[in-house]
Structure 1
Amino acid sequence: MPYLPTKTQFLWLATGFEGGLIVLAYGLGWLAAIDPLSAWSLDPGSLLLGLLGTLPLYLLFALSYRFPIAGMREIKEFLVSKLGPLLCRCHWTELLYLGFLAGVSEEILFRGFLQPWFEQDWGWIGGLVFSNMVFALVHWVTPLYGLLAGLTGAYLGWTLDFGGERNLVIPILIHAIYDFLAFLAVAQTYIRRQSA
C-alpha cells in the first residue's frame, strides 16, 4: 500500500504548497512591478457575482461526475483513487479551508499576476490565453484534464472583469467554492466505495 500522509501532514503540505504560490506571485510581481492584489475589492456585488459564477462550473462538474463518459471516467477515477483517501479524512470545515486555500493562492498567482503580466505585451486576449496555458500545464493529469483546467482558467480569467471593473475577489470565490464542492463530492464517493 502506498504511503498516505496523516490528515495533519496533508493539511500542512497543502498549506505549504499553496502558500508558496502566493510567495511566488509576490516575488514575480515585485520583479515585474505588478501588485497581484491591485484588483482586490471586497464588496457585496463581487460576493454575489462570485457565488453566481460558481453555478455554471459546478453544474458542468456535477453532470460530468455523475455521468462520466470516455476520458471523464478516467479523470473521476484518478480523483477518487488519489485524492479520495486524503479528502475523506477531512471534516467539511477542513475541505472548505482547502478550497479557499487553493482558490486564493492560485487566483493570486494566475489572475492576479500572470494574466496582467501577459496583458502588458499581448493585450487582454493574450493575457487570458497565455496565463491559462500555464494554468492548464500545472494541472496536467491527462490531456483532457489539462484542457478542462485551461478552459476553467479561461472562465475564471473572464470573470476577473465580469462586474465591469476588474476584481480578483470574483474568480477567487468561484474557484474556492467550486473546489470545496468538488472535494466534498470526491470524498463522499470514496467513502461510499469503501463501505460498499
Structure 2
Amino acid sequence: MNQSTFKLHDFFFKACCFEASLILVAIVLGWMAGIDPFAKLFFSEAALSHGLVGTVPMVVLFYLMEQWEGTSFQKIRRLLLETLGPVLHRRHWTDLLMLAGLAGLSEEILFRGVIQPWLETVWGIRIGFLVCNLLFGVAHAITPLYTVLAFMIGGYLSLSMDYGGERNLLTPIVIHALYDFWAFLSLVRTYKATRDG
C-alpha cells in the first residue's frame, strides 16, 4: 500500500471514528443535562416511512443545487469534489452507506436527541429549535452558503422529528443518512466523470 493510498484509507477511517465519537459526546452532554439521548429513538413503521418519504424533498433540493450555476454553489461543488472526491471514489458503496448511516445516527442523536431538547427546556421550544439549528449550521460551516443550507436542512430535520405527533429520532436519522448516502454517490459519480472526461 503506497503512502497516498494509506492516507486516503486513514482519512475514511478517521471520518468514521469522528462520526461515531459524536455519540459519546451526546451521551456525556446528555448526562450533564439529565437527558437520555436515546429516549426518543424507537422503531416505528410510521417514523420509518416518514423518513423514507421525507428524504425525497432533500434529494430534489440536492439535484436543484447541482443544476444551479451560481458562483456560491459552484464553490461548494468544487470544494466537495476536491476534498471528498479523492477519498470517496475509492470506497465501495457499502462503505459510503456505513459512513452515511454513522453520520445520520450520531449527528441526529447529538443535535436533536440532546442539544435541541436541552435548549427547549432552557429557552423554550422556538428558541431551542432556532439555536439548535444555528449550531447545526455552524458545525457544517465550509462556506457561508453551505452554513445557511445546513441551518435550513437542520430545521427540516427538527420538524421531521415531530411529524405525526409523536417525537421520534428515527425519522430524521433515516432522512439524514439516506440524504448523505445519495450525496456521496452523486459526488463519486461526478468525481469519476471529471477524471474520465
| Unaligned segments of structure 2, at least 5 residues | none
Q: 1:173 to 1:68 in 2, by over 3 A?
A: farther
Q: Is the 8 A contact 1:7 1:90 kept in 2?
A: no
Return the alpha-carbon distance in structure 1 between the equivalents of residues 158 and 7 of structure 2.
34
| Unaligned segments of structure 1, at least 5 residues | none
The residue that corresponds to 1:23 in the other structure is 24
Q: 1:184 to 1:32 in 2, by over 3 A?
A: same
1:4 offset after TM fit, Å? 6.7
Superposition pairs of residues 26-65 of structure 1, within 5 angstroms: 26-65=27-66
1:68 offset after TM fit, Å? 3.4
1:5 offset after TM fit, Å? 4.9
State the 4+ residue runs in structure 1 displaced beyond 4 angstroms.
3-7
- Aligned-residue Cα RMSD (Å) equals 1.5
Superposition pairs of residues 1-196 of structure 1, within 5 angstroms: 5-196=6-197
TM-score, normalised by the number of residues in structure 1: 0.95
Compare 66-75 and 124-133 and name the one that shifted more: 66-75
Return the alpha-carbon distance in structure 2 between the equivalents of residues 4 and 66 of structure 1.
32
1:44 offset after TM fit, Å? 1.1
Return the alpha-carbon distance in structure 2 between the equivalents of residues 97 and 68 of structure 1.
31
Return the alpha-carbon distance in structure 1 between the equivalents of residues 69 and 101 of structure 2.
26
- Per-residue deviation, residues 148-191 of structure 1 (Å, max 9, x unmatched): 00110011011110121000000000000000000001111111
| 2:179 counterpart letter in structure 1 | Y
Q: Is the 8 A contact 2:88 2:188 kept in 1?
A: yes
Return the alpha-carbon distance in structure 1 between the equivalents of residues 82 and 164 of structure 2.
38
Q: 1:76 to 1:4 in 2, by over 3 A?
A: farther
| 2:172 counterpart letter in structure 1 | P
Q: Is the 8 A contact 1:40 1:168 kept in 2?
A: yes
Return the alpha-carbon distance in structure 1 between the equivalents of residues 41 and 130 of structure 2.
22
Q: Is the 8 A contact 1:32 1:117 kept in 2?
A: yes
